[in-house]
Amino acid sequence: MNVERAVQILRAGGVVAFPTETVYGLGGDATNPAAIARIFAAKGRPATNPLIVHVADIYAARRYATEWPETAQKLAEKFWPGPLTLVLPKSPAIVSGVTAGLHAVGLRVPQHPMALALLAAFDGPVAAPSANRSNRISPTTAQHVKDELGNAIDGVLDGGPCGVGIESTVLDLSTGTPALLRPGGVSREDIEAVIGPVTLGGAADARPAISPGQHPVHYAPLTPAWRVDDTARFASLLMRASSGAILLKTTDIGSVGVLPGVVFYLPAEPAAYAQQFYSTLRHLDAKGLANIYIELPPQDERWLAIRDRIVRATRALE
């Protein structure tokens, strides 16, 4: 499928998956209630969880926000196109289902040539959650989307593997103090360097007002998945691990010795780790293992978004 066909589908009220720099999104016309209903249905997503609206540039974003504070302008100039979603008072052009009835809308300009080509050609706002079933692992390749949503959608644009690999940062600018609702591709430090202090909100999709009753485990594999917050504990688990368990680790365990096929190493650098995290988890999940254990990376601002995703994908090992 190509961009031209994808635009036709969007115009006709259909839903089409497309690549962004973070993860693949499932797009529909944000001004068309029927298209929005199809997105929620395809994902099995609760109607209480709002969707991010994607636009081609700052000018388009300003059209769909009724207020555009100086902080929004500065952040957009600095980080768009890029993995930052700004939550701002919503224009009536965006149908209320998109924001789950909230008065504010999340807006973002993604940094992917195919996404930008689609948005420019469609010339309208595209609502797009991650293109996975609700509460499952976000897709970072077109094949992931086909495997999971297949016939439930009208097509997939293939733009190769996503470069960032985890979702955008969600920043609420609709109230007095800027609040980080979801850590992501742009760090809090980077944002604070532009607009000053940012408070840490709860994760957006954990806020009861937005999505009551949602399970705390999100982005989760089907295999029982556990997080391990202690290196010594992790090493002892490793000694006992059989082929029924897989461990995801950032750095080399060295002297402990490694059982082949049991330990998967991800890079000990946050950006590279993020890029591989979901696809590795998806790969391991398909193996039909007894357990997946994941070592939590250091408690450090640079790993904040990854720790957040690991915590949502796992239960703590007691």
> For residue 81, what are the contacts with CB-CB under 8 A and spacing of at least 6?
21, 109, 110, 111, 112, 116
Q: Which of 1, 37, 58, 102 binds ligand TXA (CB under 6 A)?
A: 102
Q: Which of 85, 99, 130, 169 binds Mg ion (CB under 5 A)?
A: 130
Choose the binding region for ligand TXA from 106-114, 139-147, 149-157, 263-271 (rule: CB under 6 A).
Answer: 106-114
Interface with ligand TXA, residue 140, by CB under 6 A: no
* Footprint on residues 223-282 left by ligand TXA (CB under 6 A): none
Interface with ligand TXA, residue 49, by CB under 6 A: yes
* E strands in 142-204: 169-172, 179-182, 199-200
Choose the binding region for ligand TXA from 60-68, 127-135, 221-229, 265-273 (rule: CB under 6 A).
Answer: 127-135
User: How far apart are the C-alpha atoms of 99 and 48, rounded to whole Å?
Assistant: 8
134-147 b/e (C-beta count within 10 Å ≥ 16 → b): bbbbbbbbbebbbe
Q: Which does 155 bind (CB under 5 to 8 A by kind): Mg ion, ligand TXA, none?
A: none
Dihedral sign for Cα 148, 150, 152, 157, please: positive
* Footprint on residues 178-217 left by ligand TXA (CB under 6 A): 181-182, 204-205, 210
**Pair 295, 250: CB distance under 8 Å:** yes
Task: At 74, list the tokens.
Answer: 């500065």
- Smallest gap, in angstroms, from Cβ of residue 94 to ligand TXA? 10
Interface with Mg ion, residue 22, by CB under 5 A: no
Residue 85 backbone dihedrals phi, psi, to 5 degrees: -105, 130
Q: Give the footprint of ligand TXA on this chain (CB under 6 A).
A: 20, 22-23, 25, 49-52, 83, 85, 87, 99, 102, 104-106, 108, 110, 128-130, 167-168, 170, 181-182, 204-205, 210
